[in-house]
Amino acid sequence: MQKHTRFVTVIILLSVLAGCVSAQQIREMRIRHNQELFNTFSADDQGKIQTGLIDIGFSEDMVHMAWGAPDRIYMRTTAAGTATVWSYTIYQPRIHSERMSIPVRFIDHHGRRRIEYHNVWVNRDTGEQYAVARVEFTEGAVSAIEQLIQ
């Protein structure tokens, strides 16, 4: 019984710790993975990347280290030329329940087939994915940053 309790405790602790990886820790892992490239950036740019900030003039690699891979990539073409747009999104779950009436078939005590309707609650989980930030690259460098305010 004691082995079982230890096993369950270890599983619970691992589950809790797995959910505790912060955005900062993930960013630090991306930086460590590209340490040589990161070391070539100016001290000011390194500080921005380490805190998750990006700026005009940053390269795609710099933005990737600070914010991670984009969720979507667009190609924008205008009279001024073409640009690559990285989009970062968030998924907002929407959970609601609704009451439904369902038929329940049964055989009554006289042997007849009957149908009664019973009310049940059904969970309907939906969601919405929306952009929280867009980064525009022109000739490989950030030329515009758009962030959701509200």
What's the pLDDT tens digit per position in 96-106? 889 999 999 99
DSSP 3-state of 10: helix
**Residue 24 reports pLDDT greater than 70:** yes
Alpha-carbon gap, residue 123 to 97, rounded angstroms: 4
Phi and psi (nearest 5°) for 36?
-60, -45
Phi and psi (nearest 5°) for 145?
-130, 130
pLDDT at 124: 84
pLDDT at 125: 85
pLDDT at 17: 53
In a domain, 60, yes or no: no
In a domain, 106, yes or no: yes
pLDDT at 39: 96
Sheet with 141-147: strands ordered across? 72-78, 81-107, 113-138, 141-147
- Residues 75 and 137 occupy one common structural domain: yes
In a domain, 65, yes or no: no
In a domain, 121, yes or no: yes
Confidence band for 7, pLDDT divided at 50, 70 and 90? low
- Residues 17 and 78 occupy one common structural domain: no
In a domain, 49, yes or no: yes
In a domain, 96, yes or no: yes
Cα-to-chain-centroid distance, residue 13? 24
For 130-140, write each residue's pLDDT tens digit. Answer: 899 999 999 99
In a domain, 5, yes or no: yes
Alpha-carbon gap, residue 148 to 44, rounded angstroms: 25
* Token reading at 106: 């049964």
For 44-101, write each residue's pLDDT tens digit. Answer: 999 999 999 999 999 999 999 999 999 999 999 999 899 999 999 999 998 888 999 9
- Residues 122 and 90 occupy one common structural domain: yes
What is the span of the domain harbouring residue 149? 70-150
Please name the amino acid found at residue 62.
M
Is the full-model pTM beyond 0.75?
Answer: no
What does DSSP assign to residue 40? T
What does DSSP assign to residue 20? T
**Residue 15 reports pLDDT greater than 60:** no
- Residues 76 and 149 occupy one common structural domain: yes
Q: Name the domain count of the chain.
A: 2
pLDDT at 5: 58
